[in-house]
Amino acid sequence: MRLIKQAKKAIVVAPAAFLASGAVMAQEVDTAGLVSTIEGAMGPVGAVGLAVLGVLAAIMVFSLIRRVMR
């Protein structure tokens, strides 16, 4: 019984020790390059989004006009 309690304690303590040691040795992640890439792509992505919305609006207007003509 005593051995089982010690094994349970080891099972609980081992992952906690592993996570704590990983946090101590962790380094800060440099995201400056990723952020600048995303900010640089905002213009073209916005233009594509605007074009898609324009096409959808044209389709909607065409279908509404066609419905009125019937």
Please report whether residue 32 resides in a domain: no
Please report whether residue 13 resides in a domain: yes
pLDDT score recorded for residue 18: 61
Please report whether residue 14 resides in a domain: yes
Q: What is the pLDDT of residues 32-54, one digit of tens each?
A: 999 999 999 999 999 999 999 99
d(CA 61, CA 70): 15
Going by pLDDT thresholds of 50, 70 and 90, the confidence category of residue 8 is low
pLDDT score recorded for residue 27: 83
What is the Cα 12 distance to its own chain's centre? Answer: 31
d(CA 70, CA 68): 6
Domain that holds residue 47: 2-27+40-69
Please report whether residue 58 resides in a domain: yes
Please report whether residue 35 resides in a domain: no
Domain count, the chain: 1
